[in-house]
Structure formats: C-alpha cells, structure tokens
Amino acid sequence: MNPFDLPPVAAALDGLYHLVMALITTLEPWAGASAAALAIVTLTAAVRLVLLPVAISQVRAEIQRRRIAPRVEALRTRHRSDREALTRALGRLYTSERVSPVAGIGPTLLQVPVLAGVYALFSHATIAGHANALLAHTVFGAALGANLVAGLPHVAAFVVILLLLAGVVELTRRANLRFAPQPATPVPGAAALARVLPFVTVVFAALAPFAAALYLVTSAAWTLGERAILRRRLA
C-alpha cells in the first residue's frame, strides 16, 4: 500500500501541492517558465527560516562540543583499551557539562517530511485523487518530475544541479573540519567514511525528481551560509 494514499498523508500532500501551485501562480508573471523551480527554492528558504531557532541550537551544541573536545580526547587516550570505561566516562562528562553528543541533528530530521513531500509531489501522477499539474513544469527542458536518467536528453540542468550540490557538500565538509577539532587518535576508517558519506546526498539527488534535487541544493547552500554566520556570531 502506498503510504501517500493514506487519508492524513494524502491531505497533507494535497495541502503542500496547493501551496506550491499558489507560489507558482504568484511568481509566474515575472519568473515565467522558471516559476516552478523558483517556487521550490522559495519553499526551501521558508522552511529554513522557520527552522532558524533549531539551527541556532545546533551551532551552540557544536560550540559546546568544541569546548570540551580536549577533555574528550584525554578520556579517549586514558581508556583507549577499555571501551566500556570510555563510554561511562564520556557519559559522565556530557552529563556534567550538559552537552549532548547527538544535539544538532534537528534541522536535518525536521526537513525530512518536507523533502519527502516534495519528492512525492513530483513523482505521482495524481495527488489526493486529482491530476498533478506540477509534472507539466520544466526547467531548461528538463521535467521537474524526472530524475537524471529519465530526464534524457535534457540532462544539462541535472548536471549543473548535481555539480553545485557536490561543490556545496565539499565546502561544508571542509568548513566543518576547520571548525571541529579532529581527535589525535582517530577511529580507523572514520576519516574515509566522513569524507565519502556526505556525498550520498548527491547520489540521492541524481535518482530523485529534479524538484527534490533542487530542494537539496538550496538547503545545502543555505546551511553552508547559515553555519558560517552563526559560528562567527556565537563562537
């Protein structure tokens, strides 16, 4: 059973559909054929603005973890041969300093429903029982509902978006490395995994509808700029 056919989900998706259509109608007089793509960018920016308080909490958590990083590294050195003792010691440290090792994933998790909604909007022929007019919109000849393979022969727009996303992902990865101190005794394989894992987003974007890829690159670029500003102001 398609989860998007469930009445509550279908109603939420229909609401998102009408919101995007209203944005397109508003932007079309001066954006023309690019109105649909610009509507996705506008939607992404609106979501990120709503999530700004969560992003501030995320950066503050980063700063707290950066502050106690030398103590974390000392504990790792002291208990390098006893993983259970290390886990207990780290737990006591995080508790005493009121620092959560997983704090900061809020913006990512809270965007998942919106990204899933955008994905569904541009991958279903019908929404809540009516025809999906969004599938008729294109950007430089590429349908917003097509992915990299289905978009042939109009792949130029896809390639541009994927290259932009890869560039933003790499810049974000480097910025995070500069901001967060690296452990003197790294976990084997962790550095290679940390280098490759962010680019899973690019693979997903290549397989997802173009509109979802557009959402991802806009959100990633927003995150890069947002983090740079907040880190300077809060650190």
pLDDT at 62 over 80: yes
Residue 112 scores a pLDDT above 90: no
- Phi/psi for 182 (5° steps) reads -90, 140
| Strand residue runs (E) in 74-203 | 126-127, 130-131, 138-139, 142-143
pLDDT-derived band at 175 (thresholds 50, 70, 90) equals very high
What is the CA 56 to chain-centroid distance, rounded? 16
The CA distance from 76 to 73, in Å, is 5
Closest CA to 47 of 37, 55, 57: 55
| Predicted local distance difference test score (pLDDT) of residue 148 | 84
Q: Bigger pLDDT: 153 or 61?
A: 61
Q: Are 165 and 205 in contact (CB under 8 A)?
A: yes
pLDDT at 145 (0 to 100): 92
Provide the residue type at 149 as one letter: V
Count of Cβ atoms closer than 10 Å to residue 5 Cβ: 13
Tell me the mean pLDDT in the region 192-197: 83
Per-residue pLDDT for 1 more than 70?
Answer: no
- The encoded tokens of residue 149 equal 């393979």
pTM: 0.87
Q: What is the pLDDT of residue 210?
A: 93
Q: List the single range of 28-37, 55-64, 101-110, 208-217 with lowest mean pLDDT.
A: 101-110
When mean pLDDT is compared across 118-127, 144-153, 182-191, the lowest value belongs to 182-191
Q: What is the CA radius of gyration of the chain?
A: 21
